[in-house]
Structure 1
């Protein structure tokens, strides 16, 4: 290829920049507004819990050690640092425990990028309305998801972590809209962001750095916006350039038509789902299928001699690798560990990833009963069903039980309710916020569009 290689699609970066910069609150469907409020509450909970974890603390220590001008807060603390560093730490926190929201097609967790970016900017700017916040949030979700859709699942198969790669566009578009960029400046903002994309999928097998990919995407969004604001120019055809563009570089089989398909009519931000388990989204259907079989047939772990798990090719590659006790990340990303853990405990939250559990001989033994394979029927359904699962349990009495789940619980097709998200939030931040603070946060976020100032939310996020 060379620099004169034709673009994958004409003017996509320019059109998306215009959309992101010109989006108004009144343009957003009510159901998308409601979804964004659920995403905001869910993301705040993930960030507040994540900032307490050791890998986030390492990033916080580095950021605070730089002695940057204290403008924006590190959630759950009284510490302040620069806008970019706050987004780095809080973005890492949002993705720190595999509990953040999920857009299936793009394989993105946009909330753990957009919320840290926007809260940091609110602290810099001062008074911001709830409507303006939600509008910027939708801009980030829409642009990031469309970029991820266009990169396709192949980006993952090529070894890149979508959160750190496509995720930069979530942060950049959200920041640019919050700063009221013109289409020209927004285009520079996106064009700068594309050069900062990065994140390798090998991080899922034990490295703490996987969480950091989200923080860097958030920080890169801030840097892109601030640099564009100062006049630094970005790649004007960053997404569609035939040589050296985002899609042509990061994905060996992109779908460039997904960048603009249904823009302004089909809302990708309305297709975001939520996680009921603190582990990789791809295996949630398998976990629910196993629990359904065990509950309906009153089975205990010792009653089971074999579990066959049919998966999509993506989920098999993503999660069905040999488990080794090498840290929380590896446990949360691994099918075998989580199937064993949920069989014994029935839930997957913080306690299931303690250091004692990661190498528990009881779980190690149970994992030998789990056998994963690529299910041809699921594969034939296409990427829309990459989270689908077929589970077959064989008991020590020779009984065989089958359970198929095509749409995971928490997905838009099988959604969690507002009450479910509020229940999850209460549990995630228990011990971090007091009961009255939890109630206040739920009420404030639930009426975001009425708020003329986000100061009460900032106060709760930084109370200690």
Structure 2
């Protein structure tokens, strides 16, 4: 009898161990952990992070896990909710070749659980790798983030709740049977409507990630407590795969499990904007740098994108996922860091508005529409004298297919941003701890370094 997907994943998850992970997988996982935790600290000062931190603080409870960016310690599901929401409060957190934002779900869930249990860095690394292996395979099985949005009108990141449940259950040391129950119990807490994207301040979109993280932690702790669910929740009639999987891709939910580690398909963002905007911004900035064109001389910017990708970022109300606005900001500022993307003066700058009005999108159906999403773009900049300059970016900086992100790259992203918030000394200690995460005996050490400022 063929082993069911739920059983196969549960058996695999219960038997995973840090010492069987390849070096490159460990290194990528550590980079993901630091990047996602840093995003949560940064996101704490934006509206979604501020509001969710106030909400969980009022809820109270046992001081188990850190709400990053605050002095609060709360029950692990609440900390996962707060840190997952803050982690995606901005569009600076990592994405994946299958689409979506697994890191803002899986890392906060695993970290909150590891803190509660006083687990070490090696166990956290293993849990994060496992969470990616499960969550991204579910997204792949439905046909990628694009298909679940267009066909089922859902936000794919809720599927990463199942990866979060696997990560938390492994940290708890649950057996395979309880891993299956953890997945089933998570199902009652995890769903994400595509309509959540249709708001102005990124709050419900960010909260969807936090809620998925909390769902996974809750499901795992419920399973530990002896609560049960459908043993075959993935493949059962009316289950996850039955409801949403692409029949042609259904087998991908277990394909390569244990050999093809999904963290290697994770991307790190270096621009503070929705990911489909990254290649256009990089291409436009390269054209300006190579040619010396002044922004005042730009008559038109034509961006060539896959149709589905264009729909994500074309004229959106949220500024950081509005392609036209972000290109205008980048061209005026000469870059698109966090401070640029959130600058009120730039948002009101008439030069930005004028450039945004000159940006048009050419849609190319069928190009890069299926996972793995390359997120490439071609940009044409046309000047007033009729000259046209064109650059193609196949994979934006930080994309897994462009090459691995190094610790120096990550330090360049975070040294000033995070150091100015927690203090340069603590930042240096936190980065060192993350690089040597497998040697950290209790991950709460990293939480404390990322939360407090240097003392005089």
Which band: TM-score by shorter chain?
A: over 0.9
Deviation per residue, 1:246-303 (Å, 9 max, x gap): 2332456772121111111111111111000011112211111111111111112211
Aligned to 2:130: 139
Is 1:434 matched with 2:423? yes
SS in structure 2 opposite 1:309?
A: strand
TM-score of the aligned structures, taking structure 2 as reference length: 0.92
Partners in 1 of 2:233 and 2:78 — Cα distance?
25
Unaligned runs of 5+ in 1: 1-8, 325-329
SS in structure 1 opposite 2:400?
A: coil
Deviation per residue, 1:38-59 (Å, 9 max, x gap): 1111112101111122221111
Partners in 1 of 2:428 and 2:190 — Cα distance?
37
Aligned to 1:109: 101
Is 1:162 matched with 2:165? no
Which segment is superposed worse, 191-200 or 429-438? 191-200
Deviation per residue, 1:163-197 (Å, 9 max, x gap): 2x112112111101111111100011112223322
| Residues 305, 369 of structure 1: 8 Å contact kept | yes
Partners in 1 of 2:279 and 2:324 — Cα distance?
14
Unaligned runs of 5+ in 2: none
Partners in 2 of 1:287 and 1:141 — Cα distance?
28
Structure 1 position 386, deviation (Å)? 4.5
Aligned to 1:390: 378
Q: How does 1:377-456 map to 2 (within 5 A)?
A: 378-379=367-368, 382-415=370-403, 416-456=405-445
Is 1:293 matched with 2:282? no
Structure 1 position 238, deviation (Å)? 2.1
Partners in 1 of 2:223 and 2:73 — Cα distance?
24
Partners in 2 of 1:254 and 1:188 — Cα distance?
27
Structure 1 position 200, deviation (Å)? 2.5
How many residues align? The count is 445
TM-score of the aligned structures, taking structure 1 as reference length: 0.91
Structure 1 position 223, deviation (Å)? 0.7
> 9, 18, 31: which is aligned to 1:16?
9
The structure-2 alpha-carbon separation of the partners of 1:283 and 1:247, relative to structure 1 and needing over 3 Å to count, comes to farther
Which segment is superposed worse, 433-442 or 52-61? 52-61
| Residues 407, 414 of structure 1: 8 Å contact kept | yes
SS in structure 1 opposite 2:421?
A: coil
Partners in 2 of 1:18 and 1:171 — Cα distance?
16
Aligned to 1:4: none
What is the RMSD computed on CA atoms of the aligned residues?
2.0
Is 1:232 matched with 2:227? yes
> 250, 255, 272: which is aligned to 2:249?
255
SS in structure 2 opposite 1:166?
A: helix
Aligned to 1:88: 81
Which segment is superposed worse, 189-198 or 281-290? 189-198
| Residues 118, 133 of structure 1: 8 Å contact kept | yes
